[in-house]
Amino acid sequence: MNPDLDRTKDLLRDLIAFPTVSADSNMALIAYTAELLETAGARVEVFSAPCGTKANLFATLGPEVDGGILLSGHSDVVPVTDQNWSSDPFVMQEHDGRLYGRGSCDMKGFIAATLAMAPHLTRQVRDRPLHFAFTYDEEIGCFGAQHLAQILQKRGLIPGVTIIGEPTEMRIIEGHKGCYEYSTHFCGLEGHGSSPDLGVNAVEMAVRYVNRLLQLKDSLRGLAPADSAFDPPWTTVNVGALNGGVAHNVIASRAQVDWEMRPVRTSDADFVKSALRHYCDNELLPRMRAVHPQATIELEVIGEVAGLIPTDENEARRIVSELTGANGADLVAFGTEAGIFQAMGSDVVVCGPGSIEQAHKADEYLAVDQLSQCLVMLQRLGAKLGTQLGARSHG
């Protein structure tokens, strides 16, 4: 019997039962976790999102000083719509050493483990505080983490170490690319297809825009840093969708291009956006406004999430290596909130239970042995809190 593992499973079952799809509220889950952490002795604060229907949780064990250790996870999950699940995705099922349910590995398993260990950790923490952060809207742009980072920076409270518990199979991840998502909106002038010169075809302008994006995509291959360890080593661009028009014989007055890039460095993102802005201002818009002065092209920023940049000195990597026994660290293709905390000045790694291969899919699951490994990491963290992990100042 493993009481900590049993407790973690029970907590995970409760967390999965909260259907915290990004489009819906996470307030009930936040209230549930806040009560558990307060009972464990933590000082808990809940920060409402601007929409008023979601919130971040930030909790602390130990002294109110700078430079603590942060355990962070997002509370939202992706939708289950149009997925063929074998059972109710919001009712946890255990079969053959696996815990099934939406969010089991991405990433409520890690949150459950931190909650299960909190009563132990509160007795072990000494000079260096231990923080918990549970955020909203990671899946649709990391908006919750950005909101929380602003609050912490205003308070001058910068964690010295941040561990993001995304599913990495308990491998230490020290780097990933950024994720920038956009929708570009074209507004032209409707007309009859037999008189193309009397209208402004928004779909045609969108196609020209996509062609320019593809040219930039090719150019980025030649801008890959010589020492880039990413795969592929350059910044990538993907055109996800082009929508517009109403009929074969109608000049399309509106169109939309949904696209993203995964920058290796922010200068690549600046290069792409600057080139597109120049192309629109000097090529597309003059062509459109020669016919219809009110024509527009607008870039909507869905989200710009910074990447996690590998660094030579990384206290988080050192500590988690000691806790897990892992030698070395890896890079991954998927994005996380890690870059937001790194930009604050925190040393960050991503390390958590489960495989990203199971995330977002029907019958998502978390292997029980992965959860056990995570608990071992947190148990070892507790043992070190009062001894070898002295406070680090950001003053």
Which residues are the active-site residues?
A: 76, 138
Residue 64 DSSP label: S
CA distances from 49 to 78, 137, 194 (A): 19, 10, 50
Q: Report whether 166 contacts 107 (CB < 8 A).
A: yes
Q: Look at residue 102 and give its three-state secondary structure.
A: coil
Closest by CA to 189, choosing from 280, 306, 320, 289, is 289
Instruction: Count Cβ atoms below 10 Å from residue 286 Cβ, excluding itself.
Output: 11
Q: Which residue type, as a one-letter code, is found at position 137?
A: D
Whether residue 55 contacts residue 26, with contact meaning beta carbons closer than 8 Å, is answered with yes
| DSSP code of residue 249 | T
Residues 111, 113, 117, 119, CA torsion sign: positive
Give the ranges where the chain is alpha helix by DSSP (H).
3-17, 27-39, 109-124, 143-155, 202-221, 266-279, 285-289, 315-324, 338-344, 368-385
Pairwise CA distance, residues 219 & 199, whole Å:
33
List, in sequence order, every residue forming a beta bridge with 382; answer none if it has no partner. none
- Cα(235)–Cα(237) distance, rounded to whole angstroms? 7
Please report the DSSP string for 180-205 in residue order.
EEEEEEEE-B-EETT-GGGSB-HHHH
Instruction: Write phi, then psi, for 344 (nearest 5 degrees).
Output: -70, -25
Q: Beta strands of 20-172 (E only): which ranges?
A: 43-48, 55-61, 69-74, 93-95, 98-100, 130-135, 161-164
DSSP single-letter state for residue 310: P
Q: 68, 143 in Cβ contact below 8 A?
A: no
